Amino acid sequence: MTTNRYTGIAIALHWLMAIGIVGLFALGVYMHELPLSPDKLKLYAWHKWAGVSVFLLVIVRLAWRVTHRPPSLPEHMPRPEQWLAHAGHHLLYLLMFAIPLSGWLMSSAKGFQTVWFGLLPLPDLLEKNKEIGDLLQTVHWALNMSLAVVVLGHAAAALKHHFLSRDDVLTRMLPKFAR
Amino acid sequence: MKRITLALLLAASLAPTAHAVEYGQVQADKSRIDFAYQQMGVKMDGRFRKFTSQLSFDPAKPAAAKASFAVALDSIDLGSSEADQEVASKPWFSTQAFPHASFVSSTVKALGGNRYEVAGKLTIKGQTRDIVVPATFATQGATGVFDGAFTLRRGDFSIGEGAWAKFDIVANEVQVTFRITATPK
Label residue B12 by pLDDT band (50, 70, 90). low
Pairing mode, if any, of strands B66-72 and B51-56?
antiparallel
Q: How many residue pairs bridge chain A and chain B with CB atoms within 8 Å of each other?
A: 42
Which of the residue ranges B9-23, B36-50, B98-112 would you say has the lowest mean pLDDT?
A: B9-23
Instruction: Tell me the CATH number for domain A2-178.
Output: 1.20.950
Interface residue A110 vs chain B (CB under 8 A): yes
Query: Which of A45, A110, A111 lies nearest to residue B40, judging by beta carbons?
Result: A45
Does any CB of chain A come closer than 8 Å to the CB of residue B169? yes
- Taking a C-beta distance cutoff of 8 angstroms, is the pair A122, A56 a contact? no
Q: Where are the domains of chain A?
A: 2-178
The DSSP-derived string for A81-128 is: HHHHHHHHHHHHHHHHHHHHHHHHHHHHHTT---EETTTEEPPPSS--
- Say if residue B19 is exposed, middle or buried (CB neighbours under 10 Å; 0-12, 13-18, 19+): exposed
Which residues are paired to B118 by β-bridges? B108, B133
- pLDDT score for B157: 97
CA B33, distance to chain mean position in Å, is 7
pLDDT digit string (tens) for A41-51? 999 999 999 99
**pLDDT tens digits, residue range A15-40?**
999 999 999 999 999 999 999 999 99
- Decide if B166 touches A, using CB distance below 8 A: yes
Optimal mutation site among A32, A37, A39, interface B, most CBs of chain B within 10 A? A37
B162–A contact, CB cutoff 8 A: no
Cα–Cα distance measured from residue B146 to residue B24, given in angstroms and rounded to the nearest whole number: 12
Whether residue B19 is predicted with pLDDT greater than 60 in this model: the reply is no
Among the partner residues B40, B45, B79, nearest to A41 by beta-carbon distance: B40
> Taking CB atoms and an 8 Å cutoff, what residues of chain B touch A119?
41
* Nearest to A48, CA basis, from A30, A26, A32, A24: A24
Domains contained in chain B, CATH given: 22-184 (2.40.128.110)
pLDDT digits 0-9 by tens, A76-103: 999 999 999 999 999 999 999 999 999 9
Instruction: Give yes or no for B89 touching A (CB within 8 A).
Output: no
Quick one: pLDDT at residue A32?
Answer: 94
* CB within 8 Å of B137: residues ≥ 6 apart: B57, B59, B114, B116, B144, B145, B146
Q: How confident is the model at residue B5 (pLDDT cuts 50, 70, 90)?
A: low
